[in-house]
Amino acid sequence: MHHGKYRFIAGFLAGPLALYTLFVIWPFLQAVYYSFTDWTGLSPDFAFTGLRNYERLLDDEVFWKSFQHSVLLVVLVPLVTIALALFFAFMLNVGGRRRRGAAVTGVRGSAFYKIVYFFPQVLSIAIVALLFQFAYNPGNGAINAGLRAVGLDSVQPDWLGDPDYALWSVMAVLVWCTVGFFVVLFSAGMSSIPLDFYEAALLDGASRVTTFFRITLPLLWDTVQSGWIYMGILALGAEAFAVVQIMTVGANGGGPDYSTTVLPLYVYVKAFRDGQAAYATTIGVALLVVTLAFAAVVMRLGRRERLEY
pLDDT at res. 4? 61
Cα–Cα dist 62/254, whole Å: 10
The answer to whether residue 280 sits within a structural domain is yes
Least confident range from 43-57, 63-77, 100-114: namely 100-114
Strand-pairing partners, residue 37, are 48
Q: What is the mean pLDDT of residues 48-72?
A: 90
The answer to whether residue 146 sits within a structural domain is yes
Q: What is the mean pLDDT of residues 184-199?
A: 82
The answer to whether residue 14 sits within a structural domain is no
Query: Helix H segments across the chain?
Result: 2-20, 26-34, 52-58, 61-93, 110-122, 125-135, 142-149, 166-191, 195-203, 208-211, 217-219, 221-236, 238-247, 263-268, 277-301
Residue by residue, DSSP assigns 283-306 as HHHHHHHHHHHHHHHHHHHT--PP
The answer to whether residue 275 sits within a structural domain is yes
Residue 281 has pLDDT above 50, yes or no: yes
The answer to whether residue 249 sits within a structural domain is yes
**Nearest Cα to 219, choosing from 308, 99, 126?**
308
Residue by residue, DSSP assigns 199-261 as HHHHHTT--HHHHIIIIIHHHTHHHHHHHHHHHHHHHHSHHHHHHHHHHT--SSSSSGGGTT-
Neighbours of 161 (CB within 10 A): 17
Q: What is the mean pLDDT of residues 173-195?
A: 87
**Cα–Cα separations (whole angstroms), residue 11 to 7, 8, 18, 111, 279:** 6, 5, 11, 46, 40
Cα–Cα dist 171/259, whole Å: 12
Which domain covers residue 178, as residue numbers? 61-301
Residue 107 has pLDDT above 80, yes or no: no
Gyration radius of the chain's alpha carbons? 24
Cα–Cα dist 124/93, whole Å: 28
The answer to whether residue 227 sits within a structural domain is yes
3 state DSSP class of 37? strand
Residue 114 has pLDDT above 60, yes or no: yes
pLDDT at res. 1? 47
159 touches 153 (CB < 8 A):
no
pLDDT at res. 251? 47
pLDDT at res. 98? 61
Q: What is the mean pLDDT of residues 36-52?
A: 84
69 touches 167 (CB < 8 A):
yes
3 state DSSP class of 115? helix
259 touches 161 (CB < 8 A):
no
Quick: pLDDT tens for 171-181.
999 999 889 88
The residue ranking higher by pLDDT, 3 or 148, is 148
The answer to whether residue 41 sits within a structural domain is no
Distance from the Cα of residue 166 to its chain's centroid: 18
**What's the CATH code of the domain at 116?**
1.10.3720.10
> pTM of the predicted model, to two decimals?
0.84
The answer to whether residue 55 sits within a structural domain is no
Quick: pLDDT tens for 217-250.
888 888 888 888 888 888 888 788 888 888 887 6
Residue 84 has pLDDT above 90, yes or no: yes
Q: How many domains does the chain have?
A: 1
**99: confidence class by pLDDT, cuts 50, 70, 90:** low
User: What 8-state DSSP symbol labels residue 307?
Assistant: P
Q: What is the mean pLDDT of residues 276-296?
A: 88
Distance from the Cα of residue 112 to its chain's centroid: 25
pLDDT at res. 68? 92
Q: What is the mean pLDDT of residues 264-281?
A: 88
Start-to-end Cα distance in the chain: 38
